[in-house]
Structure 1
């Protein structure tokens, strides 16, 4: 499967390819996905499904529109990151590969890659997030994201351009850690956009953030099972109320190990159903 890295030139051309289209194609993919998902999560789902709000305060007038506007810059930064990954791939730098994925072994390897990406992404997010709460970075960079005390889906990427560069840098770094298919790299990091948006909606989407690990837990233990090691929407929502707590994205182990989990989190877990 790793030998398929050299097959990139034979990938079929497309008007809007999954990858290989450069900055503008990446920006279109991200922008359409981000605002479409945001509209569904913020406007549609609460009207067609019974959801119970987590937040204790109403959103301020114009806050959602402001966050949607502030998200444009970080989306452009993420598109630049994807263009860099594509250029690295073209120059045969890093461990990305192309070609078709077929057979049980290759599909299983892709699932392993997703699990690795989840843990690496969560670790990167936790420690860079804590760095962003360091005094100077918080006052001049991260404060933009925390303008939203009652966040919405559009708060997901509502942050400073410097923060965007820090948060998305891991999407380049993973290309040098283990072989990863370019299509999987693109789809996975597009999906993380949904995770960031979903973590800010203000109501629970599922028993926990829908990662591969979460889906496996659902299949094995059922919907009502408590899985305290997996993040929920409540987890990040509490971070906007208590900025010195809850820095992780997918899992709770870093917050538990480092003492940054809010004392009331476990008590209130899943009380919104």
Structure 2
């Protein structure tokens, strides 16, 4: 799709919307549609996708910066600092690079940008007085620290035989399949914890920090309260039960952290030569930040449709969500 083929917004107040109604994945629809499922998987992974790129980053990380399990058998400041530093660099390169490209250099202008409004330069609600500084602080100080803690916990546990370890020789098919299943598990898990975070006591004390970002940018995705970082990144704890290789742990954590930056970029895709080359942010989640009580999950697992919180981007859904919000607000 070229930028000139941008569809007209279906809702007022948006600079760009994709084709609506937004559809959930066919993975859990009945009767099964094998062709649609294969197309969904292909579009989610190939030819160029953030998921495939992160798989590549995970293998490069494993080869170039990962301490062997013999080293991680003992908790030591040296290798833990090495893991923390690489995560700081990765987060800064991805979130910082996207921010510079889209917002500092304005390289794509408003093409495929959802919200026409600029990011907030100032605001008393922000910890350091501005949206970008606030988001960077919580992302790097809290987010990367919790990310690193989970990785180091697993590397230490695997080295000591307390967490199950999967090798290529054990099952090549499962080794590959696990990369495909991690995003599906994350979608399943994310709705449940995100819906819980909107419970008023948790929202007020924890999740409201993330929702300071009504209009999101790349640094917004991992800008969370430390408690939310522990809950959100806790998706990786599935590997206490499901055997994994250290490269799967690296991929799982990088998928959670780095796609938080890409999906909150504020843009649907990265354009090259005026063509959509790399999918980034989803309108589905962008609407959650503006409309608040809708689209708690993602599109892989249709929890929102099942529980009546799905906003498909149409004016009719907007009316339903407004009525729902009134009921929730009492």
TM bin, normalised by shorter chain, reads: 0.7 to 0.9
The unaligned stretches of length 5 or more in structure 1 are 1-12, 208-222, 225-229, 269-273
1:112-131 alignment to 2 at 5 Å?
A: 112-131=177-196
Tell whether the 8 Å contact from 1:26 to 1:79 is kept in structure 2 after alignment: yes
CA distance in structure 1 between the partners assigned to 2:88 and 2:68 by the alignment: 15
RMSD between superposed Cα atoms in Å: 3.1
State yes or no: 1:178 paired with 2:237: no
State yes or no: 1:68 paired with 2:128: no
SS at match of 2:135: helix
Count of residue correspondences: 231
Per-residue CA distance 1:89-148 (angstroms, 9 max, x = gap): 0121222235xx479x61x32331022211211111110011011000000000100011
State yes or no: 1:78 paired with 2:147: yes
Match of 2:85 among 5, 10, 28: 28
SS at match of 1:169: helix
CA 1:177/1:42 → structure 2, altered by over 3 Å: closer, same or farther? Answer: same
CA 1:58/1:48 → structure 2, altered by over 3 Å: closer, same or farther? Answer: closer
CA distance in structure 1 between the partners assigned to 2:239 and 2:87 by the alignment: 20
State yes or no: 1:188 paired with 2:252: yes
CA distance in structure 2 between the partners assigned to 1:142 and 1:164 by the alignment: 10
Tell whether the 8 Å contact from 1:96 to 1:181 is kept in structure 2 after alignment: yes
CA distance in structure 2 between the partners assigned to 1:231 and 1:261 by the alignment: 20
Structure of higher CA gyration radius: 2
1:1-273 alignment to 2 at 5 Å?
A: 16-17=65-66, 20=69, 22-45=79-102, 47-49=106-108, 51-61=111-121, 62-71=130-139, 72-97=141-166, 101=168, 106=172, 108-171=173-236, 173-205=237-269, 233-249=282-298, 251=300, 253-264=302-313
CA 1:190/1:64 → structure 2, altered by over 3 Å: closer, same or farther? Answer: same
